[in-house]
Copies of this chain bind each other. A is one copy, B any other.
């Protein structure tokens, strides 16, 4: 497969995965690609088994239904993306540093799960309402955590933005729509893509400065224009 370079799940990479789980993962990988390309309703069980070279009852031995496969994919990807802003309660770092790390994790998760990361948003009508509710709760927590960090960092004088919620939604949107244009193996490799995306997300938050490695590229002073807008800082 093409995209497993970034997605390193523990058991899978250590080789201790059972044959049963291997077959399950293969079904999931093929189904993920078909759902990504043709949508939930546009993908039939017959499509999946044809691509796998197996029969329908084979598939139904591993999964109870079409939605079972879809929800498994959906949950994995959404969980990976939406827990990026979780930090341990004893993490005492500055808000701006936690934000930068969290947004980097968020960008990395979205690049890694670019096929299924936003299934929940695009195919909400096809999902079980109870399952959707759990995903919505997780998404709400993500935005709550992101908004809190944004406002803390702004109070610290590190950020410049108007509306926290709208800023957070814009950040989520860049990752959420990435599936329409990102393809692995393109002009920009996955690692550089994550770095660039993180920079753009920090830009939306109105970060005054970038990490030293990136700041060297800027010829014209960033702080000159910003300082005029917010003389209080």
Contact = CB atoms under 8 A, between A and B. Distances in A.
Interface of A: 37-42, 118, 121-123, 125-126, 157, 160, 162-163, 165-167, 169-170, 172-174, 176-178, 180-181, 187-188, 196-197, 199-200, 203-204, 206, 208-210, 214, 217-218, 220, 222, 224-226, 228-229
Contacts of A224: 208
5 nearest A-B residue pairs (beta carbon): A41-B41, A208-B225, A173-B177, A38-B125, A42-B125
Contact of A162 (B40, B160, B169, B218): B218
A208 B173 CA distance: 23
B167 A222 contact: no
Contact of A41 (B42, B172, B187): B42
A38 B126 CA distance: 8
A121 B180 contact: yes
Contact of A222 (B160, B166, B217): B160
Contacts of A38: 125
Contacts of A37: 125
B188 A166 contact: yes
Nearest to A222: B160
10 contacts: A39-B122, A39-B126, A157-B220, A162-B196, A163-B188, A163-B218, A170-B174, A203-B203, A203-B204, A208-B224
Given A42-B125, A42-B126, A125-B39, A172 B162 contact: no
A209 B196 contact: no
A144 to B, nearest CB: 14
